[in-house]
Amino acid sequence: MKLVSRSAWGAAAPTGSYTRISSTKGVKIHYEGSAVPGSLAGDHGRCAGHVRDIQRAHLNDPKEDWIDIAYSFVVCPHGYVHEGRGLNVKNGANGNPTLNAGHYAVCAMVGTSGITSPTSEMLNGLVDAIEYCRAQGGAGGEVRGHRDGYATTCPGEELYAWVQRGAPRPGGSGPAPAPAPVPPSGSSSAPTFPGRVLRLAQPMMHGPDVQRAQERLIERTWSVGPDGADGWYGERTRATVVGFQRDSSANGWPLADDGEIGPLTWAALWERPVTR
């Protein structure tokens, strides 16, 4: 893997604090969706500057209010994987907070003009990034396009067709493992994550967010204690969450079994198919 660290490509410091994550369902593939200079293809020396341009544009986007480059990684035509926000950090590219926490975002330097098709080296770099996210960042088996779950044309037809083939390396060697199960189309979307991790604490955490999570656990046949959804995050609720997390991981939705309801566990409560 040809990894280019943030310092190596000259990243500016983020303007805010990252949200940490321990694992994801997998990786989503993106393209730039705008003109990508054709000169990059013949001169790798220009690629770091282009990543800086992407970061600068994201930091100056008044609508999105990003604190950094939105992507987890950016892959150039020469197969180099440029570290964006990196591993174990929620990205800003997938469409909303739940989607951003659910998958890493890996962008190819492909656009609507200039460089419009991925090179073989780029495809190898994308697979390198996928494997790196799995080996070091707790990513699950899913490889999706940005458009999967969000209304967009990203990552373009050619890259999306590659994703649908299982994201193989050029020549068919070393294909990415088959995607993990996807929630059925009729499953309900998760309500907005409350913005705080729900956990056993001293003094004991209490409130409507806890009660909503408990109600959802009960709906999915998980008992949270004799008092039901009382809004108190006690030992029984924590043990129930651990059981749900372990069951999710065994069924293709890797979650840390820490007994805490962060963005990934919150989303899984609504989106993961019932297997119990």
- pLDDT of 14 reads 97
Is residue 139 located within the same domain as residue 198? no
Is residue 110 located within the same domain as residue 191? no
- pLDDT of 189 reads 57
- For the question of whether the overall pTM of this predicted structure is more than 0.75, the answer is no
| Greatest extent of the chain over all pairs of C-alpha atoms, in Å | 67
Q: Write the CATH number for 32.
A: 3.40.80.10
Is residue 63 located within the same domain as residue 160? yes
- pLDDT of 267 reads 86
Q: Write the CATH number for 246.
A: 1.10.101.10
Nearest to 102 by CA among 164, 161, 166, 21: 21
The number of folded domains in the chain is 2
* pLDDT tens for each residue of 216-260: 999 888 989 888 999 999 999 999 999 998 988 877 777 888 899
Residue 178 lies inside a defined structural domain of this protein: no
Residue 177 lies inside a defined structural domain of this protein: no
Residue 158 lies inside a defined structural domain of this protein: yes
DSSP H or E segment with residue 54: helix 47-59
Is residue 115 located within the same domain as residue 236? no
Q: Which domain holds residue 244?
A: 184-276
Residues of the chain under the 70 pLDDT cut: 172-190, 274-276
* Domain C-terminal end among 150, 172, 194: 172
